[in-house]
Each structure stands twice: as structure tokens, then as C-alpha cells.
Amino acid sequence: MLKAADRAAALTQQLLAFSRRQVMRSCVMNVNTTVEHTEKMLRRLIGEDIELVLSLSADIGNIKADPNHIEQAIVNLALNARDAMRRAAASPWKQPIHTWMRPTRGRTSA
């Protein structure tokens, strides 16, 4: 419950930052930790017809960035990939899609 409240607060900050062009709050962070924290939300956003596969590198190191901006970038990338995969699945020609998300076997896209 507290994690959900923290996520809601972070999302609110992102929206405020976008609308007001607020200054980023940079800190030293680990991208893997951010990806892991967004995994549950990403699974809900991309839907059941696509399987999310995380392949995190243990030696990725830290970066200095705004965690909320990194999280938003990850969400945007995942949603763009989802949309592209659904468009490709609906096209008359089929090509393999090699990405970090893949369609789940036996399910059709919405």
C-alpha cells in the first residue's frame, strides 16, 4: 500500500514537472533497481497478451539522474514497444520481433 502511494506521488511529481518545467532532482541511482520497481506496473500496462522478460546486467553500475524521469522513460519505451508489436501482429505480413518483450503464446492481442 505504501509503495502504491509512493508511486502515485512520483507520478504526480512527473506531471507537475512536465507542466511547470521543474528542475530535475538528480541523485546517484541504479537503473536495475528502477526497472525492478516498475516491473509490476509495466506488466499491467502492456497487457496479458505480451510477456515482459527482464534481463538485467549485474555490473551495470550507477548513474546520476532523476529517478522519476528514468522511470517515465522506461514506461514510454515499454508502451511504444507494445504498440509496435500489436501493429506488427495486425499487419498482413509477418516478421519475427526480437525485443525485450514478446507476445505470449496462445493469446491474441486486443
- 3 state SS of 82: helix
For 40-72, the pLDDT digits (tens) are: 999 998 888 888 888 888 888 899 998 888 888
Q: What is the mean pLDDT of the chain?
A: 77
CATH number of the domain that residue 64 is part of:
3.30.565.10
- Domain encompassing residue 42: 24-103
Instruction: For residue 65, tell me if it sits in a domain.
Output: yes
Q: Is the pTM of this model over 0.75?
A: no
Q: How confident is the model at residue 18 (pLDDT cuts 50, 70, 90)?
A: low
Share of the chain above pLDDT 70, in %: 60
**Residue at 43: amino acid letter:** R
**Predicted pLDDT of residue 49:** 84
Count of domains observed in the chain: 1
